[in-house]
């Protein structure tokens, strides 16, 4: 049934690609989704957790409730693809494939609605804003999207080439923790400013910061179990006004990523302790603001095995790729997977050419021929799970 609407799915993606919006400010995107759901005859609720849209497909028989999640926001990037359907919103672009996620989910919804008379239970399709930040899953959950009726299992996907080993048309599947938490922090290192030629009369926060930056890496190399992934990155250093002036303070911005929640809890505390002790030993001080962002994305073992069998039927055993190592990227699909068992899979769909561009690049583009595969996987998994005894 999905192949019959393959061209529609591609067209929806192209239309969505032209109207990218960022974070929670996605009114045009939400209106587009609502318009398609109206065409399909699927009831929905708008303005959930902001501009979130929740569609409900009700089967002809009583039963369980399955969830499908698609993120809908774009990025603050000026597009350089030269596509005929390029972004019409200056400084905004679907450079991570969320336009495809919406179109794929709409395709699955249309097919499921067409066969709803034979379905037991319900399917909720959750169109979620702000995945790229500051986070849209949690507000939607707080407004009750996983309840009434309660979602018993949930699935989501990501297109593109996050995992290089997953080629176009292939499906990447990981068990357990497959993506990292997404934490951030800000440090303010205080010293005593003065003349650059008279450092003995100052407390140099730039020098203190340099020691802190290097020492933070020892938390990964010496305090984290070597087999457990972890990353601490300082992405911004800001301090000083002139070449010959030692400033009063330096601001450091960074991110911390962990797969294991225990590592996250331990190292997040040690970041502040280590930085403060270094600053104090050098006659300065350090203040830390640590923000716990998205938790790790953890795929349920049993449900993932269930999905793997379906994927092998749809794309062939040789096109299902086992993801043995996680990515340190983050995703707020994690919040939905804390509410219900499920999985988050990766649909290889990088457009091949003279040069291939990664996610979040102004020339990022997708292989549209695999979108129907995504819709098939979502719809087939929903049908099989609703009819199962799990």
Q: What percent of the chain has pLDDT over 70?
A: 100
Least confident of 111-125, 128-142, 340-354: 340-354
Mean pLDDT of 90-108: 98
- pLDDT attached to residue 353: 76
Q: How far apart are CA 143 and CA 364, in angstroms?
A: 34
Which residues belong to the active site? 73, 131
pLDDT digits (tens, 9 = 90+) for 284-320: 999 999 999 999 999 999 999 999 999 999 999 999 9
Q: Is the pLDDT of residue 256 over 80?
A: yes
Q: What are phi and psi of 98, to 5 degrees?
A: -70, -25
CA distances, 114 to each of 41, 57, 310 (Å): 10, 10, 21
- pLDDT attached to residue 351: 86
- Choose among 112, 100, 73: nearest CA to 157: 100
- pLDDT attached to residue 354: 62
Mean pLDDT of 73-98: 98
pLDDT digits (tens, 9 = 90+) for 323-376: 999 999 999 999 999 999 999 999 999 887 768 899 999 999 999 999 999 999
Q: What angle do CA 363, 368, 369 make, to 5 degrees?
A: 145
Q: Is the pLDDT of residue 390 over 80?
A: no
CA distances, 299 to each of 149, 172, 330, 340 (Å): 22, 12, 14, 10
Domains of the chain (ranges plus CATH)?
A: 2-178+296-387 (3.40.630.10), 182-294 (3.30.70.360)
Look over the chain and give the mean of its residue pLDDT values, rounded to a whole number: 97
Query: Hey, what are 47's tokens?
Result: 């303005």
Q: Go through 195-213 and write b for each residue having 16 or more CB atoms within 10 A of its CB, e for each that does not.
A: eeeeeeebbbbebbbeebb
Q: Is the pLDDT of residue 223 over 70?
A: yes
Dihedral Cα 21, 25, 30, 31, nearest 10 deg: -90
Q: What are phi and psi of 320, to 5 degrees?
A: -105, 115
Q: Is the pLDDT of residue 10 over 70?
A: yes
């Amino acid at each position: 049934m999905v192949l019959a609407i393959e061209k529609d799915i591609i067209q929806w993606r192209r239309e969505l690609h032209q109207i990218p919006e960022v974070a929670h400010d996605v009114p045009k995107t939400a209106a587009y989704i609502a318009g398609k759901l109206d065409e399909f005859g699927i009831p929905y609720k708008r303005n959930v957790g902001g501009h979130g849209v929740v569609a409900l497909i009700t089967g002809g028989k009583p039963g369980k409730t399955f969830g499908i999640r698609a993120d809908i926001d774009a990025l603050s990037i000026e597009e350089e693809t030269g596509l005929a359907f390029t972004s019409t919103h200056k400084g905004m672009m679907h450079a991570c494939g969320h336009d495809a996620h919406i179109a794929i989910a709409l395709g699955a919804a249309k097919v499921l609605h067409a066969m709803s008379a034979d379905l037991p239970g319900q399917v909720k399709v959750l169109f979620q804003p702000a995945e790229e930040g500051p986070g849209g899953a949690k507000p939607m959950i707080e407004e009750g999207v996983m309840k009434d009726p309660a979602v018993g299992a949930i699935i989501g996907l990501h297109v593109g080439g996050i995992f290089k080993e997953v080629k176009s048309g292939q499906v990447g599947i990981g068990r357990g923790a497959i993506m990292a938490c997404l934490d951030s922090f800000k440090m303010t290192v205080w010293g005593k400013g003065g003349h650059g030629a008279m450092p003995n009369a100052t407390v140099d926060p730039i020098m203190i910061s340099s020691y802190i930056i290097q020492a933070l890496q020892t938390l990964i190399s010496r305090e984290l179990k070597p087999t457990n992934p972890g990353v601490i990155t300082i992405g911004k250093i800001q301090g000083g006004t002139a070449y010959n002036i030692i400033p009063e303070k330096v601001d450091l911005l960074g991110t911390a990523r962990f797969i294991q929640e225990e590592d996250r809890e331990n190292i997040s505390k040690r970041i502040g302790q280590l930085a403060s002790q270094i600053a104090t030993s050098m006659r300065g001080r350090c203040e830390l603001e640590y923000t716990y962002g998205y938790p790790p994305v953890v795929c349920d073992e049993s449900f993932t095995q269930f999905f793997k069998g379906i994927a092998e039927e749809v794309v062939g055993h040789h096109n299902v790729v086992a993801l043995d190592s996680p990515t340190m990227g983050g995703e707020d699909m994690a919040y939905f997977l804390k509410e219900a068992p499920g999985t988050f899979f990766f649909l290889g769909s990088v457009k091949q050419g003279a040069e291939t561009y990664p996610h979040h690049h102004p020339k990022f583009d997708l292989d549209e021929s695999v979108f129907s595969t995504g819709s098939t996987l979502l719809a087939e998994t929903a049908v099989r799970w609703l009819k199962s005894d799990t």
